[in-house]
Amino acid sequence: MSSVDIRNVSKRYGSVVALENVSLALEDGEFFGLLGPSGSGKTTLLRSIAGFVEPDGGEIFIEGENINRIPTHRRNIGMVFQNYALFPHMSIFDNVAFALSVRRTSAEETRTRVSQMLELVQLGGYERRRPSELSGGQQQRVALARALVSRPRVLLLDEPLGALDKNLRQQMQVELRQIQREVKITTVLVTHDQEEALTLSDRIAVFSRGEVMQIGKPDEIYERPQNAFTAEFLGATNFLSGRAGERQGDVSAILLGDDQQILTLDPLPQAGAPVTLTVRPEKLALHSRAPGKSDVGDATNCIAGQVVQPIYMGASITYQILAGGSEITVFHQNRDSRMLQPGAPVWLTWHARHSILIDHP
């Protein structure tokens, strides 16, 4: 296993900033996700670790060794690309064995290691087939076996599941995580798919315009986003703007634009200062009548509104609700077939701990 230490790495392409003083510390055996939209810098960082891109500044260390001046072929890094980059004219055995042949590994050891890797990715017995005879998921496994057969210090995954359909992608997420845990290799994943990053990663760095917006465990950055970009990029969310009110015991009040009030556990700036909160749609409970204490449980927030639009999703109904001076999205589980219509009065309740202060130091 190997740790990866990235220190103040920067990269520019003319006037375009690809990376701006990025620093990350990856632990031994960690599955680390680099998440962000296209052009956010995540792929540039991955390619810098691999040696395909030379940073303008900063240093990259693997196991404490500075690899900036070490050529790609000597870094002992495995990499899986989105298109797998398999050799179509070669058998599966020869594809997996390619890195070993370059290193002039003996034929006996090559057979042993290739066989071990194909068994690991559940492709034992496929040695003589060609890539064109395999499904997309199987080709992805071959690419993974080829990346692991040379026993690299670090495994780099560049959108490895992007070419698969949704169902196969979800299946491969589970398999990829199991394989990574079995071989215990430090792994860096680049993806723009939020679900993929949350499912696979031990920790995630969220990128935007060459900068790291937030680093943390999947549940931490989803439940406690620090800024509007992270909150919105990690899934559907609502933003409620108002002015800070007074502290009331363990909670703080925010006054909304329509004179309604909501509470948060987060400390607020001085009274009257503008603030923005985010609330996830699944944290909100929807009521078609004014709720009593037995209806809301431990919820501390309750605001009135009306339905703007219901969207039938099968297992759930997504409601757009006008409340608190904003249009709020609510995910409502489809427990019965009745759907509220536009204009219907509703009440939204949620706990103060789910009102998260963002964009404020």
- In this structure, the number of other CB atoms found within 10 A of the CB of residue 333 comes to 10
Same domain (yes/no): 215, 250: no
pLDDT of the residue at 361? 43
Chain mean position to CA 248: 36
Same domain (yes/no): 162, 215: yes
Strand 65-66 with 57-62, pairing:
antiparallel
Q: What is the DSSP string of 312-343?
A: E-SSEEEEEEEETTEEEEEEEE-SSS--PPTT
247 with 331: CB under 8 angstroms?
Answer: no
pTM of the model: 0.90
Same domain (yes/no): 176, 285: no
* Cβ-Cβ contacts under 8 Å for 308 (sequence gap 6 or more): 319, 320, 321, 322, 327, 342
- Based on C-alpha coordinates, what's the Rg of the chain? 25
- Burial class (CB within 10 angstroms; exposed 0-12, middle 13-18, buried 19+) of 80: buried
Domain end among 233, 259, 294: 233
Nearest CA to 63 out of 100, 103, 29 is that of 29
Residue with tokens 């031990």: 202
Query: In the structure encoding, which two tokens stand for residue 36, read together?
Result: 């962000």
305 with 328: CB under 8 angstroms?
Answer: yes
pLDDT of the residue at 295? 65
Same domain (yes/no): 110, 131: yes
pLDDT of the residue at 166? 79
Same domain (yes/no): 204, 328: no
Same domain (yes/no): 178, 106: yes
Domain end among 205, 233, 261: 233
- 161 vs 191: CA distance, rounded Å: 9
Residue 21: which region, alpha, beta or left (left: phi > 0; alpha: psi -120 to 50)?
left
Q: How many domains does the chain have?
A: 2
Same domain (yes/no): 262, 150: no
Same domain (yes/no): 223, 291: no
Domain end among 200, 233, 266: 233
Q: What is the edge-to-edge ordering of all strands in the sheet holding 31-35? A: 77-80, 154-158, 186-191, 31-35, 203-208, 211-216
253 with 261: CB under 8 angstroms?
Answer: yes
Same domain (yes/no): 94, 156: yes
Tens digit of pLDDT for each residue in 195-242? Answer: 999 999 999 999 999 999 999 999 999 999 999 999 999 999 999 999
Same domain (yes/no): 192, 323: no
CATH number for the domain harbouring residue 202: 3.40.50.300
From first CA to last CA, the distance across the chain in angstroms is 37
- The neighbouring-strand residues paired with 186 are 154
293 with 341: CB under 8 angstroms?
Answer: no
CATH number for the domain harbouring residue 265: 2.40.50.100
- Tens-of-pLDDT digits for all 361 residues of the chain? 589 999 999 999 999 999 999 999 999 999 999 999 999 999 999 999 999 999 999 999 999 999 999 999 899 999 998 887 889 999 999 999 988 888 888 889 999 999 999 999 989 999 999 999 998 889 988 999 999 999 999 999 998 887 777 788 888 888 889 899 999 999 999 999 999 999 999 999 999 999 999 999 999 999 999 999 999 999 999 999 999 998 878 889 999 987 889 999 999 888 899 999 999 999 999 999 988 776 666 678 999 999 999 999 999 999 999 998 899 999 999 887 789 999 999 999 999 999 999 975 4
Q: What is the DSSP string of 192-231?
A: S-HHHHHHH-SEEEEEETTEEEEEE-HHHHHHS-SSHHHH
Chain mean position to CA 217: 10
Distances (CA, A) of 172 to 125, 162, 179: 20, 11, 10
Its domain, for residue 340, covers 238-358
Same domain (yes/no): 288, 223: no
DSSP state of 27: P
Same domain (yes/no): 225, 254: no
- 122 vs 118: CA distance, rounded Å: 6
- 140 vs 123: CA distance, rounded Å: 11
Longest Cα–Cα distance of the chain, Å, equals: 77
pLDDT of the residue at 168? 80
Distances (CA, A) of 196 to 121, 174, 177, 185: 19, 10, 11, 19
